Amino acid sequence: MKVLKFGGTSVANAQNITLVKNIVSDVDADQTIVVVSAFGGITDLLLQTADFAASQDLRYKTVLKEIEDRHIDTIKKLIPINKQSKALSKIKSDLNTLETLLEGAYLIGEITPRLSDKIVSYGELLSSYSIAEFFAEQQLDAVYRDSRDFIKTNDLNGKAVVDTNATNKLCKEILGETKSKVIVVPGFIASSINGNSTTLGRGGSDFTAALIAAALDAEVLEIWTDVSGMYTANPKIVKQAHAIPHISYEEAMELSHFGAKVLYPPTIQPVLTKGISIHIKNTFDPESAGTLITKNRTEKGKTVRGITHVENIALLSLEGPGMVGIPGISKRFFEVLSLHDISVVLITQASSEHSICVGISDSDIEKAVEIVNQAFEYEIEREKIWPVIAERNLAIIALVGDNMKSHQGLSGKMFSTLGRNNVNIRAIAQGASERNISAVIKKEDVKKALNALHEEFFEENVKQLNLFVMGVGNVGSKFLNQIQQQRKYLKENLKLNIRVIGISNSRNMVFDEDGISLKNWEDVLKDGEKADKALFFNKINQLNYRNSIFVDNTASDDVASTYASYLKNSISVVTCNKIACSSNYTNYIDLKNLAREYNAPFLFETNVGAGLPIIDTLKHLIASGDKVLKIQAVLSGSLNFVFNNFNDKTTFHDVVKQAQEEGYTEPDPKIDLSGIDVMRKILILARESGNRLDIEDIGNTPFLPEESLATTTNEDFFSSLKKYEASFQEMYKAAADTDSKLKYVAQFEDGKASVGLQHIPKGHDFYNLEGSDNIVLFYTERYPNQPMIIKGAGAGADVTASGIFADIIRIGNF
């Protein structure tokens, strides 16, 4: 004999009930007991209609009508029209009784726990009756039995306690004597010794099935639901979660106690005593293996078996100098809570005995504060104990696994993962069984914490990076294309899963929590909402994803000024925008400190030399104890392009124009030609070498005439270049006469930095610098005479995009 229980979703409508029938017909057993829940959502509707009635709100009728329609519609779909009348009239008569009960509650304006249980029991009564009728109609040799006749409880409505002896005896008598092949039974509902309807708690149909399985020594208890087993974490919150193939009773109990709703916690006890295994299966995917729960699991598997969470938790802390060394304080504390039926989910006590802290359900907190303060009134008045402190809006997350006790370092790994993701831990408890390590965190951090822990413990080191990209011009669009091309490779080879969750340009912005398709992001962005920098930040912050990265591909001051708010929320920042790092020193250093404090990298490799690994190399040199003595560099791809192409056969004006047209200059070419851009770059290198410098400290002897520098439009600028062509030619000639080339050089030595045009003689490292290439010479204590040289393309959208990409990967490996 087997007991199969089908949950709310499995019986939510006629179509699903047909799947249930197929599963039941295929069962290989002499007899099958089918325990069913109310149709999905009906229990909630019943509670809602009861609430409305009790507060004399006529909307109870609308909800009741909805309940009625669902049932009638289902019967009409399940049973052929010529045979419907019996089932329909029974259902209508039950609904009439229900209506009478609700009218009573409406008139009195009140509802007792007993009436509430009675009302809510109609969910399972109606579903089980309908299903039994359908099975019989489908020639399944099925009968209906009312569980109120054999599941017995005490009289505590709402929190009824099962009378196991009476239940066992009656199950054997009533079900044991029923010979039909299939017996359909309502879950969740029971009756007291006095004959009143009671219920077994939300989710209690699982428990009904377990009680029957234990009483009748079933071969197996199958829990059929809407997921393929007990998962490594709640699959609604953690997309990567997967079913655990085999698990012990104790592990399953711990997981369900700490929030794995797929199994109602009391379910395990009755079958555990009898050694009956539980098999969790998916009604919508009967072929998948599901989860087997038995005494000992054979499979070795992981130490951590699952990660669960309980929401709506509050912490209650009792503290005070009078607690130290005084026996009995904890006893009184727990006694008063238990006296008022407040159950304690988690306990921590500091070894100093200075405080006790317990986690309880948030709905109990007001009452708890009142009764605990009352219980310790004497001590509070004498300032031996402080009034109890309550903290709300919290949640518990727990790691569960039988073998955790024999493994060191799991809690360390758990807490460092949470810390890295900026999840603040309010309290910690390790169950005495050591099958569970729990932490209390803020409710809004649950999703991030679960996903981060799941990644750490279950995902073979695949790390998910969540990108929010601002600016999709030349560089930004190349960057998105590169991600699209490399995504598969990164996942397979570097175990990095990169998702772009948000994109914004100056007009529109768009978000997709599952990741924006990079094949058609342009179209998606076009249809996005109006761009707004503050809303963009708010959205990222509110999504609260682990490993969130804000990517700034703009050149905007406004965007640069938002970095601090990102970093403060543990959102990493990757940018090719030089403004922040070349702004005043305090701002630069504050951002670097925030990055450290909030564990959120702030990377800007592309600020100098586009994709060349200049800053990263410098960082490695310094970190490994080297010291920078001198930096000499050609850092402007645009100026290099200009001076490589300018000679006595061209005009300076035309070359600059060409550089602008080919995208080698900033939109305002004066930023490059005045040397500002190079000043910013050498400033950043000097700072990254550990020097305190500001832009005003950098020497700059301009080669442009003052008049050109003073222009305010590009047009005026270009005409002034024409006007001064003769002086540019002189500049060229002076260099050519000494066999030298003109190069715009940045230099840093002895704490001083300068930029300017120089004559570079043949044989110098800079002499043969091609096109828009950059070169940097680092003279350091380890490289005093022969400098370390980094050279290569230092401008262009493609290489800049790849530099940003490299920073993202650095964060992935962080």
Residue 426 Cβ, how far from ligand ADP at the closest point, in Å? 22
Stretch that binds ligand ADP, among 8-16, 161-169, 315-323, 421-429 (CB under 6 A): 8-16
One residue of 94, 219, 226, 697 binding ligand ADP per CB under 6 A: 226
What are the strands of the beta sheet with 529-530, ordered from one edge?
A: 529-530, 508-511, 496-504, 463-470, 548-552, 572-575, 602-603
Q: Which of residues 241-270 bind ligand ADP (CB under 6 A)?
A: 260-262
Q: What b/e string do you get for 11-30 counting C-beta neighbours within 10 Å, with b at 16 or more?
A: bbebebbebbbebbeeeeee
In whole angstroms, how close is the CB of 385 to ligand ADP at the nearest point?
38
CB contact set of 503 (below 8 Å; sequence gap of 6+): 468, 469, 470, 472, 480, 509, 510, 516, 521, 524, 525, 528
Of 64, 99, 133, 203, the one binding ligand ASP by CB under 6 A: 203
Among 186, 204, 431, 476, binds ligand ASP (CB under 6 A): 204
| Total Cβ atoms within 10 A of residue 166 | 14
User: Contact with ligand ADP (CB under 6 A): which of 9, 191, 674, 720?
Assistant: 9
Of the ranges 144-152, 195-203, 318-326, 335-343, which one interacts with Mg ion (CB under 5 A)?
195-203
Binding mask 724-743 toward ligand ADP (x if CB under 6 A, else -) reads --------------------
Helices (H), 140-278: 164-170, 205-215, 249-257, 268-274
243: three-class secondary structure by DSSP: strand
Annotated catalytic, 519? no
CB-CB contact of 212 with 218 (8 Å)? yes
Applying the rule CB under 6 A, the residues between 470 and 489 that interact with ligand ADP are none
704 burial level (CB within 10 Å; 0-12, 13-18, 19+): buried
User: 469: which strand partners?
Assistant: 503, 551
Piece of 65-73, 219-227, 586-594, 802-810 that binds ligand ADP (CB under 6 A): 219-227
Identify the active-site residue in 21, 681, 741, 791.
681
CA angle in degrees (0–180, nearest 5) for 239-395-292: 50
Our CB check for ligand ADP shows the closer of 8 and 265 to be: 8
Q: Which sign, positive or negative, has the C-alpha torsion 315, 321, 327, 333?
A: negative
CB closer to Mg ion, 7 vs 290:
7
Residues between 78 and 137 that touch ligand ADP (CB under 6 A): none
Q: Considering the complex, what minimum distance in angstroms separates the CB of residue 38 from ligand ASP? A: 4
Asked whether the CA dihedral 446, 452, 456, 457 is positive or negative, the reply is: positive
Q: Where are the beta strands (DSSP E) in 667-737?
A: 698-701
Interacting residues with Mg ion between 6 and 35 (CB under 5 A)? 7
Total residues interacting with ligand ADP, rule: CB under 6 A: 19
**Residue 390 Cβ vs ligand ASP, minimum distance, rounded to whole Å:** 28
Helix, strand and coil content of the chain, in percent to the nearest 5, comes to 45, 20, 30
Phi-psi region of 647 (alpha: psi -120 to 50; beta: other; left: phi over 0): beta
353 phi-psi bin (left φ>0, alpha ψ -120 to 50, beta other)? left
User: Under the criterion CB under 6 A, does residue 8 sit at the interface with ligand ADP?
Assistant: yes
- Determine the Cα–Cα distance for residues 272 and 263; give it in Å rounded to an integer: 14
Please say whether the beta carbons of 682 and 755 come within 8 A.
yes
235: contact with ligand ADP by CB under 6 A: yes
Q: Give the nearest distance from C-beta 19 to ligand ADP in angstroms.
A: 13
Residues binding ligand ASP: what is the number (CB under 6 A)? 13
Of 203, 290, 431, 609, which lies in the binding site for Mg ion, with binding defined by CB under 5 A?
203
Among 205, 547, 554, 708, binds ligand ASP (CB under 6 A): 205
- Least separation in angstroms between CB 676 and ligand ADP: 57
Count of CB atoms situated within 10 Å of the CB of 707 = 12
Residue 185's binding partner out of ligand ASP, Mg ion, ligand ADP, none, with CB under 5 to 8 Å set by partner kind: none
Q: Could you tell me which of 269, 280, 257, 297 has the C-alpha nearest to residue 398? A: 257
Mask of contacts with ligand ASP, 551-580, x by CB under 6 A? ------------------------------
Positions marked active-site: 681
Binding site for ligand ASP (CB under 6 A): 7-8, 37-38, 43, 123, 187-188, 202-206
Binding site for ligand ADP (CB under 6 A): 7-10, 37, 203, 225-227, 230-231, 233-236, 260-262, 306
Binding site for Mg ion (CB under 5 A): 7, 203
